[in-house]
């Protein structure tokens, strides 16, 4: 078990917290503040317990240079409104400097400040020891709460832990609890649902999950690469040419491991990759030459509903079809509705599946929606995430 902020005495300590404040901006205005809101439980806990809080984050890709459009100033303002307390913003081009150090030293119990975008420094993404040390010199404890960047070994996510004791915030605690338990210690039956565009992107996830799950359901564009490997016709459907052989190998592996790996029974297809293209439902292997698969069909939904009926743990990553187009969203929507009603622990991998669940207004019906796309995939691949590896064990 990883240590969290609850396991240490933070009173009167200067606590450096790595958050994920990588918010979308339009003309300098924050268009969605969910990432800031998600960080509040950890920040409020620290303030209530009289810590001296120093927040840090990256924003966008300034590529190691101080660029005004990537300043965290708008985040400081929004935070101030959300917390109802002053947030001192330290706009230093070098992130840490003499003045910033002095301000950190002068911070009082229950006070809060935010550093400038850590990616204003080239050393950040290179995990440069000097910058990690610079950051560490500001505080006494390091709290990592940025799951979205936990798969990156950067100065502010991993390197800093060479100089300071590291515990997790509540966001990372929740991710580790849900994703970690699902992968290492799932309540069975454990069913994974994989979708999305390409098999290639998710080979290692599928491979790892095959060793853990009881059933694996495949949907989305990746299904056609599996069909191709079985010698079935797929028309003009999206095909991951380089991975046809591998898809065949994964089907064999599933058989050898005794895992039920299910593929769609029917397909909603269209002649063009467009919402206006008339649709047709055909059984597996009967996609006409001039058409492409856009979604799983209603028979598949029933088949997958049955496979999910007794599940106790479900992990879902990747949409079942082109859910961004209303005519081809049904498969993804039906699976989301099945999970919303399920008594199982339902875990939604970040990225597109999370976006789909939000789109259908079902986010609050899931047990856990991961906040990190790349990070949750790496977690499901069974990799050690640098930003989590550095957190002390209890």
> What residue ranges bind ligand AMP (CB under 6 A)?
196-198, 201, 220-221, 238, 293-294, 318-319, 321-322, 324, 351-352
Residues annotated as catalytic are 35, 198, 351, 374
State the minimum distance, in angstroms, from the CB of residue 384 to ligand AMP. Answer: 23
Measured CA to CA in angstroms, residue 336 lies from 76, 160, 193, 341 at distances of: 35, 39, 11, 9
State the minimum distance, in angstroms, from the CB of residue 184 to ligand AMP. Answer: 23
Determine contact, residues 348/338, Cβ cutoff 8 Å.
no
Residue (39 or 223) nearer to ligand AMP, CB? 223
State the minimum distance, in angstroms, from the CB of residue 280 to ligand AMP. Answer: 14
Pairing of strands 266-270, 29-30: unpaired
Residue (75 or 322) nearer to ligand AMP, CB? 322
DSSP letter for each residue of 5-40: GGGS--TT-EEEEE------EETTEES--HHHHHHH
Q: How far apart are CA 234 and CA 316, in angstroms?
A: 24
Residue (74 or 350) nearer to ligand AMP, CB? 350
- CB count within 10 Å of CB 296 equals 32
Q: How far is CA 335 from the centre of its chain?
A: 19
Pairing of strands 25-26, 29-30: antiparallel
SS3 label, residue 57:
coil
Alpha helices, DSSP H, located in 211-329: 222-229, 244-257, 298-308
State the minimum distance, in angstroms, from the CB of residue 294 to ligand AMP. Answer: 5
Looking up tokens 């079935």, which residue turns up? 232
Residue (191 or 348) nearer to ligand AMP, CB? 348
State the minimum distance, in angstroms, from the CB of residue 366 to ligand AMP. Answer: 17
Residue (238 or 338) nearer to ligand AMP, CB? 238
Strands (E), the chain: 14-18, 25-26, 29-30, 52-56, 88-90, 112-115, 141-144, 166-168, 190-194, 215-218, 260-262, 266-270, 279-283, 292-296, 313-317, 345-348, 368-369
State the minimum distance, in angstroms, from the CB of residue 177 to ligand AMP. Answer: 24
Residue (168 or 300) nearer to ligand AMP, CB? 300
Q: If we measure between CA atoms, which residue out of 40, 113, 141 comes closest to residue 83? A: 40
Q: Give the DSSP letter of residue 212.
A: T
């Amino acid at each position: 078990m990883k240590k969290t902020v609850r396991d240490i005495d933070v009173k009167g300590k200067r606590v450096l917290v790595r958050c994920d404040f990588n918010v979308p901006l339009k003309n300098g205005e924050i268009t969605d503040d969910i990432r800031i809101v998600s960080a509040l439980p950890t920040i409020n806990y620290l303030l209530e317990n009289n810590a001296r809080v120093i927040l840090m984050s990256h924003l966008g890709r300034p590529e190691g240079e101080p660029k005004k459009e990537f300043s965290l100033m708008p985040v400081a303002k929004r935070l101030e409104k959300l917390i109802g307390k002053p947030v001192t913003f330290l706009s230093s081009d070098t992130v840490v400097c003499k003045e910033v150090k002095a301000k950190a030293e002068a911070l009082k119990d229950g006070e809060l400040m935010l550093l400038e975008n850590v990616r204003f420094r080239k050393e950040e993404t290179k995990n440069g020891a000097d910058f990690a040390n610079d950051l560490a010199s500001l505080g006494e404890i390091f709290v990592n709460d940025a799951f979205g960047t936990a798969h990156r070994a950067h100065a502010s996510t991993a390197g800093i832990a060479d100089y300071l004791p590291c515990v997790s915030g509540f966001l990372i605690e929740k991710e580790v609890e849900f994703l970690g338990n699902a992968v290492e210690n799932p309540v069975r039956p454990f069913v994974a649902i994989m979708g999305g565009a390409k098999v290639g992107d998710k080979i290692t996830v599928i491979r790892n999950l095959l060793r853990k799950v009881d059933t694996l359901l495949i949907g989305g564009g990746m299904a056609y690469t599996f069909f191709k490997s079985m010698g079935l016709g797929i028309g003009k459907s999206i095909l991951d040419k380089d991975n046809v052989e591998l898809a065949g190998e994964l089907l064999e592996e599933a058989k050898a491991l005794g895992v039920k790996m299910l593929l769609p029974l029917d397909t909603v297809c269209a002649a063009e990759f467009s919402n206006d293209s008339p649709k047709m439902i055909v059984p597996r292997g009967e996609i006409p030459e001039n058409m492409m698969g856009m979604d799983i069909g209603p028979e598949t939904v029933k088949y997958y509903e049955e496979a999910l009926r007794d599940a106790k743990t479900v992990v879902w990553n990747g949409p079942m079809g082109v859910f961004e187009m209303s005519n081809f969203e049904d498969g993804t929507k039906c699976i989301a509705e099945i999970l919303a009603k399920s008594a199982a622990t339902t875990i939604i991998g970040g990225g597109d599946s999370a976006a789909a669940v939000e789109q259908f207004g079902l986010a609050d019906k899931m047990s856990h929606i991961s906040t990190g796309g790349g990070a949750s995939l790496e977690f499901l691949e069974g990799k050690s995430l640098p930003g989590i590896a550095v957190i002390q064990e209890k």
